[in-house]
Amino acid sequence: MSNIALTRIDDRLIHGQVITAWCKITSAKRIVIVDDLVVKDPFIVQVLQMAAPSTVKVEVHDVESGAEVLKSYNGDENLIVLVKYPKTVLGLVNSGVDLKELNVGGMGAGLGRKSFYKNISVSDEEKEIFRELISKDIKCFIQIVPDAKKIDVGTLL
């Protein structure tokens, strides 16, 4: 599990920034997407796998199996873990996945969400989840692209 190079919340999951910027900077050869709904849609899973270059393996899991994969991983390849929601990260952590940092990327506007920082919107429940993750000594920060300054989520709560 020490090879988790990046854990990122991004409601778009795999897109240009993830592939061109984050895969390059982390040297990741494997992306693990954890989402209880996406895993149930074979078409979306296939689209996500096709969106990555052939040199990057993409797999999709629900929280339970994703936690097991991440806890047992002992390979040499750097991993990127992608999720859509803070509650997914909390589920992984509560299932025993040892995370040190959480990169908050895309979290778009939606029902019950308010502007949090620039184009990032969160609900009150998601703010509470960030507080809980921070209380578990997980450094939560906003960083849209690798060369952008890290913004401490705790200072925005």
Measured distance CA(29)–CA(33) in Å, rounded: 13
Q: Which of 3, 15, 51, 132 is catalytic?
A: 15
| Helices 86-94, 63-72: crossing angle, 10 deg rounding | 60
Q: Tell me if residue 15 is catalytic.
A: yes
Q: Which residues contact 27 (CB under 8 A, 6 or more apart)?
A: 5, 78
Measured distance CA(61)–CA(39) in Å, rounded: 6
Measured distance CA(141)–CA(157) in Å, rounded: 12
> What amino acid positions are annotated as catalytic residues?
15
